[in-house]
Structure 1
Amino acid sequence: MHSITRIKLSIMMFLEFFIWGAWFVTLGTFLGNNLKASDLESASVFSTQSFGAIIAPFIIGMIADKYFNAERILGILHLVGAVLMYQMYQSTEVGTFYPYVFAYMVAYMPTLALVNSVSFRQMKNPEKEFSTIRVWGTLGWIAAGLSISYIFHWDSAEGIGQGLLRNTFLMAGVASAILGVYSFLLPKTPPVKSEGSSSVSEILGLDAIKLLKSRDFLIFFLASVLICIPLAFYYQNANPFLTDVGLENPTGKMTIGQISEVLFLLLLPVFFSKYGFKKTILVGMVAWAVRYVLFAYGNAGELSFMLIIGIALHGICYDFFFVSGQIYTDARAGEKYKSSAQGLVTLATYGVGMLIGFWVAGYIGEYYRGAGAENLWQSIWLVPAGIAAVVALLFLLLFRDQKTPKAEVPAFEPETDRSPAVTSLP
């Protein structure tokens, strides 16, 4: 790949995930402090990610892949996103904020697949080249978090008190406008002409539903959906929790999670080959329970190390479960159903599983606040800890670790890249 093309794609990836990291991490804190949203109202807002993820495959699979250049659609969607971000920046109540964030998620989620499409089409050897491009997306996400905490101080007690968190939408909107214009300068990526047309069932991965006839794959599938409930608690509550307990620069410190993803992904092939799928995925499940126990009993004072360890466990939580699950799915599906199987699992997890998880988190938060819980956050975090522990126990007892064909660990693609909208992902 030409060096100029590599630079262009790296900038594209950096901006793509800078935009997401610039507002999504602090969304829960913004909703509670700026818009005075209840837990259920916050759940409704976070659920737009799942709805966007469910809708996005249709945009990519039935429109973008067939009729338009990927870079042009990418540009248009980000320009639309910039306008919607500005509307979110101006919103003063949840009722006016919700339609804009819903429309934004429908526009943004397809871009996760589009940046991959633009990248892959320029590569001669994606297995070796993609990771060096994709890592700039992680750097963009980290840069956004560090900027919020250490440059602008929008998530400080003073900043939150002055309502400065709303500026995160303005920052994301400016970045979205820049990427929207910049996308038209990217290498041309015309649609690939193929015989026939993709059916709805193929796009959503429903062709692979027959794999659920296998008892072990069914258990893994159900465990994947259920473990997304604790994951939703993290997205929805982590930043508000860290802010409430008084941890300094919470958004910046949460980037430790992305750094740990990179590190643990490097260890995953060794662990996976030595201990097998079942033990690897169990470690991931147990890590979810451990991190929430650490959140439940840690504080911003002398026990702040427990909060930091809980954040750092994100690499194990995500890589050891979700990436291992992708490897397992790839191996069990066989050549015929590989793409469909990955689509089915991602749709069920980030579409259905996360949707359930956001609402469970909302109801739990609402319940304990209404009950006047003495240790509110401890009560909240022990719920996902218990869910993760139960899922791990059931998986341990019911899943048989049969030998599967060897599958390669995929190129580095951190959590922020995995979504049912990303139909081109393995």
Structure 2
Amino acid sequence: MGIKFRLTLMTFLQFFIWGAWLISLGGYLGRNLNFEGGQIGSIFATLGIASLIMPGVVGIIADKWINAERLLGICHLLGAACLFYASTVTDYDHMYWAMLLNLLCYMPTIALNNTVAYNALEQYHYDIVKEFPPIRTFGTIGFIVAMWVVDLTGFKNSSAQLYMAGISAVVLGLYSFTLPKCPPAKSQKKSWLSAFGLDALVLFRSSKMTIFFLFAMLLGAALQITNSYGDLFIGSFKSIPQYANAFGVKHSVILLSISQMSETLFILTIPFFLRRFGIKRVMLMSMLAWVFRFGLFGAGNPGTGLWMLILSMIVYGMAFDFFNISGSLFVEKEAKPDIRGSAQGLFMMVTNGAGALIGGYGSGAIVDFYSKYAPNHDLISRNWPAIWFIFAAYALVIAVLFAVFFKYKHTPDLD
């Protein structure tokens, strides 16, 4: 097998593991295990904890002591053990710790996957800029395929989704040991501060960058909300007779997968929008897209309102990419060359770390506020439209404040 095929398989499996549970777990926890909204939110907030801690730690280990491909394999095997354990538990405490440990193992593998791919392409004398994007695209395809498998098999309603993710993690873990060697760069003097993006704190001397990172954190809180509750929300229509047999209810995860499909398409438009409109307007487009993402969820239904749910999935591509990808490119341009790696680490910590923590616990509190539970914690009712409209209002407030406080003059020739 050629090296490009082998790296494509690695990347496909990398995101297949994540797609097997990220979108469907919230529905399983809420419908089948009767977890409350706050409990679901806190479990998804573990992604933020893992993103704050582990990528930097594991990056240092790969830079100094252990081959990246071996470390990738070790992390996936440990993550698989956590997923297998999570598939056997039904109470909140054990599920929380199982998923926290799993994400502590999984989150650093995203960067390790890229490192292994870059190194292998370089060894085989390929142009990384040209060859890596198509390989990375198969990561998104893997994520979507996993969602479809989980939906069509019915695994979305059981712990089988975690078991399937665990088996996939074992396969990738073992496969990683067969990949081209990626030894530590022993001459590289990368500090712990650099690994955690903290030597990029110098960027906060600029009020423009301080404001940008603040709003990046606030918008980062929106990233996991529909991952946490999207399937649970659409599945809730099953209790309404007129929607019980609707395609969107029966195949909610497939419906949600349109979001990932849209994401792959909007990535291609980023260069045009950045050159034409600049980072401020592109970020505002993202924020307004989040308003529509949540608002359309609040107004839609799987029947006559199905078009609103589908439109919500489509605008997700703009909401996610115009913030996550464009924001990363902006940080890359604003940071000096010697701290660009750390600046990207800081952006990741702010959005997927602190932002995910705020979003996980904050959204959980809002979901519980608009929910009624029996004394035994069984759900009696939940006002989903109010919940989604609150999230939409949050995104709108962020957009208005960002428009007022973020000062940036767009120069088309430079963006």
User: Is 2:59 the counterpart of 1:61?
Assistant: yes
- Paired with 1:232 and 1:19, the residues of 2 have a C-alpha distance of 17
Note if contact 1:364-1:380 (Cα within 8 Å) is conserved in structure 2: yes
- Paired with 1:336 and 1:405, the residues of 2 have a C-alpha distance of 25
What does residue 166 of structure 2 align with? Answer: 173
- Paired with 1:55 and 1:324, the residues of 2 have a C-alpha distance of 24
What does residue 422 of structure 1 align with? Answer: none
User: Is 2:159 the counterpart of 1:193?
Assistant: no
What does residue 222 of structure 1 align with? Answer: 214
TM-score by length of 1: 0.89
Note if contact 1:243-1:250 (Cα within 8 Å) is conserved in structure 2: yes
What does residue 411 of structure 1 align with? Answer: none
What does residue 96 of structure 2 align with? Answer: 98
Amino acid at match of 1:181: L
What does residue 263 of structure 1 align with? Answer: 265
What does residue 229 of structure 2 align with? Answer: 237
Q: Residues 358-373 of structure 1 correspond to what in structure 2 (within 5 A)? A: 358-370=360-372
Amino acid at match of 1:132: P
Change (3 A) 1:82 1:375: closer
Query: After TM superposition, where is structure 1 displaced by more than 4 Å over at least 4 residues in a row?
Result: 371-375, 403-408
Q: Residues 18-417 of structure 1 correspond to what in structure 2 (within 5 A)? A: 18-123=16-121, 124-150=126-152, 152-155=153-156, 160=157, 165-196=158-189, 198-246=190-238, 247-370=249-372, 376-403=383-410
- Paired with 1:267 and 1:108, the residues of 2 have a C-alpha distance of 29
Change (3 A) 1:407 1:5: farther
The Cα offsets for residues 344-372 of structure 1, whole Å up to 9 and x where unpaired, read as 12111111111011000111011111499
2:120 alignment partner, SS class: coil
TM-score by length of 2: 0.91
Shift of 1:86: 1.2
1:325 alignment partner, SS class: helix
Report how many residues are paired: 396
- Paired with 1:201 and 1:407, the residues of 2 have a C-alpha distance of 30
Query: Share of identical aligned residues, percent?
Result: 36
- Paired with 1:374 and 1:70, the residues of 2 have a C-alpha distance of 48
Note if contact 1:330-1:407 (Cα within 8 Å) is conserved in structure 2: no
- Paired with 1:107 and 1:232, the residues of 2 have a C-alpha distance of 19
Change (3 A) 1:404 1:115: farther
User: Is 2:14 the counterpart of 1:13?
Assistant: no
Amino acid at match of 1:98: Y
- Paired with 2:85 and 2:67, the residues of 1 have a C-alpha distance of 28
Change (3 A) 1:244 1:337: same
Gaps of 5+ in 1: 409-426
Amino acid at match of 2:145: A
Shift of 1:141: 0.3
Shift of 1:279: 1.2
Note if contact 1:6-1:133 (Cα within 8 Å) is conserved in structure 2: yes
- Paired with 1:40 and 1:121, the residues of 2 have a C-alpha distance of 42
Note if contact 2:63-2:188 (Cα within 8 Å) is conserved in structure 1: no
- Paired with 1:265 and 1:57, the residues of 2 have a C-alpha distance of 24
Change (3 A) 1:302 1:195: closer
Change (3 A) 1:407 1:253: farther
Amino acid at match of 2:85: Q
Shift of 1:375: 6.6
Amino acid at match of 1:202: S
Amino acid at match of 1:220: F
- Paired with 1:82 and 1:407, the residues of 2 have a C-alpha distance of 45
Q: CA RMSD in A?
A: 1.9
Amino acid at match of 1:170: Y
Note if contact 1:18-1:141 (Cα within 8 Å) is conserved in structure 2: yes
- Paired with 1:306 and 1:50, the residues of 2 have a C-alpha distance of 30
- Paired with 2:345 and 2:271, the residues of 1 have a C-alpha distance of 23
- Paired with 1:311 and 1:54, the residues of 2 have a C-alpha distance of 28
- Paired with 1:80 and 1:29, the residues of 2 have a C-alpha distance of 25
1:121 alignment partner, SS class: helix
